[in-house]
Amino acid sequence: MIAAKAFRLALLAAGTAGGLSGAAYGLLNGQSWYARRVIGRPATDPLRADGIHLPGGVGPVPASELPADAEPLELAVLGDSAAAGLGVDFPAELPGVLLARGLADELDRPVSLTTHAIVGTTSQELAAQVEAALVRPPRLALIIIGANDVTSKLPVSACAELLGDAVRRLVAEGVAVVVGTCPDLGAIRPIPQPLRSIASWWSLALGRAQRRVVEASGGHAVPLADLLSPEFLARPGEFFSPDRFHPSAAGYEAAAAILLPVMCAAIGEWEGGPLPTAPTRSKAAEARRPTSRIVARLNRRLHRRVTS
């Protein structure tokens, strides 16, 4: 459902921004139908394993089992299906659990995980998750969002500003915020070309805008598209779940590996090596630079639509 809406609205944006020919519009319409059929709807809701996680990969455990002097670090996870961990088979594979246990090991203290992320969330719904998290402000919040923003009718700049509002609201309450920016939808193989190029262009543009506004708002941005796309492109069978849209356990593990150091640094607790950095333009994005006339023309028209 999420992917289907994304493809329909990307198609609408491309088709109305300058008037595509009937043949080009028909091509995109057929491709969006094919992608919707292949990806399908989520069969189940994401698993949950909220609670207190201990060093050594233990948890969740009841608070009553903690020593009296053990104060867990509060971690909140906000965002969309990627934040919620849709696509894994076991609770231990959830990104929130991987990060809670990673933090527990790094800090040598318990970590209390609360997941507010909801499948299908866009930046327009993020404020409600922020309010829920601030009922009891956590020490650290992770936000992963953006893929569903490709489905919205708002310009990229508006989606990024909504994310900035969420980050500023959390930071004002003393919460350290890390944001995993929009992944590159061009890595999703069921989306055929040239529709995949449109989805890629839009998601990369959103990721760049998110990064700017998050850092300007006092948060810490992790550019997931730049850092993860090469792995997802090279090993799609391993890094995507069976729906070929959401990450697999291996995909979430790869994301957690680059998010964890930044999350530790955000609370002043990172003593490892250099933090993950991203080039101005990833090799994956460079390799997909449009070359055909039709793809280049669609991208130019989409750009006018998104930024207008």
In the numeric block, the tokens 């489905």 are attached to 151
- Annotated catalytic residue, options 226, 243, 248, 282: 243
In eight-state DSSP terms, residue 242 is T
- Give the count of beta carbons closer than 10 Å to the beta carbon of residue 239: 21
SS3 232: helix
The one catalytic residue in 53, 116, 220, 246 is 246
| DSSP H helices in the chain | 2-16, 22-39, 81-84, 95-107, 126-133, 156-172, 195-216, 224-234, 236-239, 249-266, 283-287, 293-307
Question: Cis bond leading into 242, ω under 30°?
Answer: no
Q: Which letter does DSSP use for residue 240 in this model?
A: B
Residue whose structure tokens are 């040239």: 194
Q: Which entry of 81, 152, 200, 217 is annotated as an active-site residue?
A: 81
Per the CB < 8 A criterion, the answer to whether 208 and 163 are in contact is no
Query: What are the C-alpha distances in Å from 183 to residues 23, 157, 159, 196, 197?
Result: 30, 17, 15, 13, 14
Q: Is 89 a catalytic residue?
A: no
| Strands of the 51-54 sheet, one edge to the other | 58-61, 51-54, 111-115, 73-79, 140-144, 176-180, 220-222
- What lies within 8 Å, CB to CB, of 159 at 6+ separation is 122, 123, 124, 146, 149, 152, 206, 209, 210
Q: 308 an active-site residue?
A: no
* Residue 246 designated active-site: yes
The residues annotated with a catalytic role in the active site are 81, 243, 246
